[in-house]
Amino acid sequence: MGEAENRLLQKQKEVIKALLISQQAALNSLVAFLAREFKFLSGLDDVDYVEEYISTHVLTQLKNVGKALKNADSENFGICENCHKPIPFERLMAMPTAAHCVQCAAENDRYQHRRASRERSLIVSFSSF
């Protein structure tokens, strides 16, 4: 097993451990906030939302680790899915699930940020009706 695969397996363990810790910490924070702000707990919808968000995020990370492990022995491992250039070794060691080079990842982040901003502005405009 290569160094990249070992890093991916370690990342998988870390993500699972983080899930357990994150869910408990988020729930504890939310309960404390609700108790402080409202002096009582009015429903558990917010708790369910936090759990769903954390679970979705962690499941996405696990999916990415699984995909990277599956591709670790293929010729496409370490190749950017957008521009098809090699992803620097240092980036793969720091983030073994990286599927994009730094430039493509940054462009994707900018696109996601612009999209989220447009969606927020649409929500604001519709809420004024």
Q: What is the DSSP letter of 88?
A: P
Task: Kindly list the domain boundaries of the chain, sorted by start residue.
Answer: 1-77, 78-129
Burial of 40 (0-12, 13-18, 19+ CB in 10 A): exposed
The structure's pTM equals 0.49
Q: Residue 87: pLDDT above 90?
A: yes
Mean pLDDT of 59-76: 82
Mean pLDDT taken over the chain: 77
pLDDT band for position 41 (cuts 50, 70, 90): very low
